[in-house]
Structure 1
Amino acid sequence: MTPPGVAYDRRVELQAFENTKAGVKGLVDAGITTIPAMFRHPLESLEGITTPSDNVAVIPTLDLSAARREDAVALVRHAAGTVGFFQVVNHGVPAELMAGMLAGVRRFNEGPAEAKRAAYTRDLARKVRFSSNFDLFQTAAASWRDTLFFGLAPDPPPSQELPEPLRNVVTDYGEAVTKVALCVLELLSESLGLSSDHLREMGCAHSLYVACQYYPPCPEPHLTLGHKRHTDEGFLTVLLPQVLVDRSGAGGTWVDVPYVPGALMINIGDLLQLVSNDQFRSAEHRVLANKSNDTARVSVASFFNTDMSSSTLYRPITNGHNPPIYRSVTAQEFMATFMSIGFDGRLLDYYRLEQDPPTPHV
């Protein structure tokens, strides 16, 4: 809190928070009762929650072990082209592996402060890093969460670099969830009328980055978010978010994702929307701040992408009936634009044809 009579300096507040290397959990442990100004979001970004009864048919669920191939392809085609999200069950990731990941994330964040400080960094070259808000110094309002990040593929970090609470589970989890992603990419390829290996051969699952999110209880959850509205920049994500479903054609309605035991949530990323030429949709989603008085929420998001150093041009898949909506782009350029705008802009707007791209903020 800024003392009375002292001008508020956001940069000073951000740097003081960063210097603790304790993340949002450190603020909670310090016993704060009001959130710092840096976490306060505009009121309009906090509005629009629907009631659970309105959510039942919004996000479809696909049983990967029981659905006929043509039915699975049809469901994926519809979901990817409308809401941009669907859940999968009987996906082959063992329940104990999923539970082990979530437990490990909780143990790390609620473990010794020294271990978190040792992992705290904004050096993107490090394959294991801990921080709060990757765009902390860019965004207009920080979100109430901490993140432990792993770069698992194609070159995983050595075992000794992995935090002890996740050392015996994160590699196995990465391998298991990759199999799910490859299965989904086959269905997505077929739904575009292509061979089942088309998107895989394009390198859509070449790299895997896993973000382990920790959402501590928030003393003023009505003033902030766990994660602001955003789309994912890559090809495919496996996660459990809250999504913005556009039912009106001119806006959208926030809905809670109904819980399906054992399900994994799949969502389309921006680069896949570009490559599909808008046949698939990268929907906006967000996470509410944790309203619990004493229990943190945890989640694991797995981001599948191509080789970020490649000079390969990704262009929209077109035919005679659908001219390209986007210009061709390398993944390296696409990611550089994302890093410059963070979650405060719509990445695809920079690559649409027949319009002037926005100017990235510095």
Structure 2
Amino acid sequence: MAATHTTDRRQVLQAFDDTKAGVKGLVDAGVRTVPPIFHHSPDPHPTSSSSATIPVIDLSARRSDVLSHLKAAAETVGFFQWVNHGVSAGLLAEMLESIRRFHESPKEAKAPYYTRDLTKKLQFNSNFDLLQLPAANWRDTLFCRAFPDPPGQGELPPAMHGVLPEYSGAVRRIAVAVLELLAEALGLAPNRLEEIGCADGVSVVGNYYSPCPEPHLTLGTSRHSDPSFLTVLLQDYDIPGLQVLVTDNGGEEDKRQSVRVVVPPVPGALVINVGDLLQLVSNGKLRSVEHRVVAYGRARVSVAAFVTANLNATTAKVYGPIEDLLYSSAPPLYRSITMPEFLSHYNGKGLDGGPVLDYFRLPHP
């Protein structure tokens, strides 16, 4: 029975994938219920009504205040909202709209970009880990390696022409500025994190969460942490969807629990979070935190820019805990890795909720 069930599920998943239309194709076909392949188990963590845990950091404030707030956020919740960052509202709106235009274009226009080849610079698919996980996510994605060697203008979908290079350049400048502040917070030279390659690459991921007829049965994106040094997220400004798992600091210490905190849309803000690779090179001083995206009855768009290593590089660079952050009472927590090794493990396990860095953790007595 188990083998038959597994075989049947695999066939259903393959049939869905073969349409090359994604979740949007199901909705366009008039689906009234969420198919079983998208059903998720109930979440054991409650959702908090307070969003105060996710700080809003204003770049127009005194530098010392910005630095202290950023340090506190990166060492605890791992997320913060970045405002007055200098990127125009027009560019942010156009980036969101370009992703919406692509995903809402006819199936025939999107199908040529549909692929399961994760080595390609440009990939359109529904759930990169579709065939690995027990439950698929209610989400379609357009992935693009945008820096330093992006696809040519002729390779990009028409909806992305013009806006992608400008946006990815702006995101990288923000990431470099954040990395300089974080380096200072760690007691390192300001350019140290950039110097070791923490901003050598930018991948832009445009997610489309179709209207869901039964949001309580599924998720937009299941729980995970990010395969990046930093992630810079631009989310729809009228529909909250992102939730971060944090420890509730209220009450007695032995009664504290993990809760999901909603990251509210703030007009003009970019949501920035620490990724797994930054936790690794900081030897655990900066925290990459689990988060997820819920499904909604309305369509929602987001653009996540993963600031990472140069994924197009022909030579595999090695990343490990920075030596200046190690001492007798703080030995290395993780072994050194290469990006191909890291991504092979990340893509192989998919968004199964398990901490990626546990695989690279060193044993300690």
Question: Is TM more than 0.5 here?
Answer: yes
Deviation sequence 1:8-61 (CA, Å, 0-9, x none): 81100000000100000000011111111110001136x52222xx22x21111
Please give the secondary structure, in 1, of the residue aligned with 2:108.
helix
Deviation sequence 1:220-278 (CA, Å, 0-9, x none): 11000000010001111001432111235875110111232200000000011011111
Q: How many residues align?
A: 344
Which of 47, 50, 73 is the aligned partner of 2:48? 50
Deviation sequence 1:256-311 (CA, Å, 0-9, x none): 1123220000000001101111110001110001123xxx1001000011134543
Q: Which residue identity does 2:18 align to in structure 1?
A: N
Gaps of 5+ in 2: 236-241
Trace 1:245-264 onto structure 2 (pairs within 5 A): 245-247=246-248, 251-264=257-270
Q: 1:325: Cα distance to partner?
A: 1.3
Q: Which residue identity does 1:278 align to in structure 2?
A: G
2:238 is matched with none
Which of 356, 359, 363 is the aligned partner of 1:347? 356
Please give the secondary structure, in 1, of the residue aligned with 2:43.
helix
User: 2:226 & 2:179 partners in 1: Cα distance?
Assistant: 16
Q: Which residue identity does 2:248 align to in structure 1?
A: R
User: 1:280 & 1:91 partners in 2: Cα distance?
Assistant: 22
2:317 is matched with 312
1:36 is matched with 35
Q: 1:355: Cα distance to partner?
A: 6.6
1:325 is matched with 333
Q: 1:158: Cα distance to partner?
A: 0.4
Percent identity over the alignment is 53
1:274 is matched with 280
Please give the secondary structure, in 2, of the residue aligned with 1:233.
coil
Asked whether 1:234 is paired with 2:228, we answer yes
Deviation sequence 1:97-120 (CA, Å, 0-9, x none): 110011111111111211111111
Trace 1:10-89 onto structure 2 (pairs within 5 A): 10-44=9-43, 48-51=46-49, 54-55=50-51, 57-64=52-59, 66-89=60-83
Please give the secondary structure, in 2, of the residue aligned with 1:200.
helix
Q: Which residue identity does 2:338 align to in structure 1?
A: T
Asked whether 1:113 is paired with 2:114, we answer no
User: 1:81 & 1:238 partners in 2: Cα distance?
Assistant: 17
User: 2:103 & 2:187 partners in 1: Cα distance?
Assistant: 44
Provide the alpha-carbon RMSD of the alignment.
Answer: 1.9
Q: Which runs of 4+ in 1 moved over 4 A?
A: 248-251
Deviation sequence 1:158-181 (CA, Å, 0-9, x none): 001111112121111111111111
Q: 1:139: Cα distance to partner?
A: 1.2
Q: 1:68: Cα distance to partner?
A: 2.3
1:203 is matched with 197
Give the TM-score, by structure 1 length: 0.91
User: 2:135 & 2:36 partners in 1: Cα distance?
Assistant: 8
Deviation sequence 1:319-351 (CA, Å, 0-9, x none): 324211112222221111111111112111101
